[in-house]
Amino acid sequence: MKTLSTYQQALTLLPIITVMIIITYSYQLATNTANHPDVELPKIHGVILKEAQQLTNVHLSDHQGKTVSSDYFKGNWHFITYGYTQCPDICPTTLITLVQLANLLSTNNDNLETQFIFYSIDPARDSQQVIAQYIQYFSKDFVAMRANNSSDANDFQQSLGIKVDIQSSSMVAADAPPRTQLAKKELLSEVFYQVSHGLTIFLINPKAELQAVFLPDITELGINSFTSEMLYRDYLKVVKYYRQVN
């Protein structure tokens, strides 16, 4: 019987070793929190996703008119809040809270690359110029975004689970005084236009994946609200968890 040399034996085993390496590497790539039983899922005011969801089909514009895709969210952590510029209370209050959070991060020097996004759910009225002026009221470092059409808006909102209800009416009272058609439309937009939305804040990880959803506390008066201290503590928990499983 002819005996294989050591070199020939190595060549014979090479495909098997290669397959084993590929299988091992693929398994490691597929590893998620389900395969990290030693890593406890921290408790936050909201939900941490065990399997972060990749942002896809992102076609937006920022307040400077620049195109925004999913690649925009890679490399840094991003807080995303949403609303509309004519919102009387919830939206500006949430933005002020995020400004306070940004100040906390800066003061404590946590060395976290963090960006804050305001997404308009009312692009029909919130033009690029409108959101550019609006976001400057809160912080020159914040970014406002909008969709350019209903299809792009639906794609982005569905990817995050944003719930929006916009109702409008074009009815004109029979005894209304004579007006130009433009004046009538302006009047109707003020009187018969109603926007309803939820209150959540989304956290996108540096891989452009939805990592966590923050939910507000409910006060004794039944008011939903966030605090910067609460968001700060929960943010650090999410970051620590992310680093442990990646």
CA trace torsion 97, 100, 102, 108 (10° rounding):
-140
Rounded to the nearest 10°, the torsion over CA 45, 155, 241, 77 is -100
Residue 187 has, within 13 A of its CA and on its CB side, a CA count of 12
Spatial CB neighbours of 63, under 8 Å, sequence gap ≥ 6: 128, 131, 132, 135, 143, 144, 145
CATH code where residue 140 lies = 3.40.30.10
Q: Do the domain assignments include residue 1? A: no
Instruction: Please tell me the total count of domains within the chain.
Output: 1
Residue 61 · residue 68 · CB < 8 Å? yes
Q: Is residue 96 part of a domain?
A: yes
CB 166 within 8 A of CB 189: no
- Give the count of alpha carbons within 13 A of 6, CB side only: 0
Find the domain containing 124 and state its range: 42-163+198-245
Is residue 116 in some structural domain? yes
CA angle 151, 212, 26 (to 5 degrees): 90
Per-residue pLDDT tens, the chain, 246 aa: give them.
444 444 444 344 434 433 443 333 333 444 444 556 677 899 999 999 999 999 998 999 999 999 999 999 999 999 999 999 999 999 999 999 999 999 999 999 777 899 999 999 999 999 999 999 999 999 999 999 999 999 999 999 999 999 888 888 765 555 555 555 555 455 544 567 889 888 999 999 999 999 999 999 987 777 888 999 999 999 999 999 999 998
Residue 220 lies in a domain: yes
Quick check: is 173 in a domain?
Answer: no
Q: Residue 30 domain-assigned?
A: no
Task: Report if residue 138 sits inside a domain.
Answer: yes
Predicted TM-score (pTM) of the model is 0.77
CA–CA separation, 105 vs 113, rounded Å? Answer: 10
Residue 210 in any domain: the answer is yes
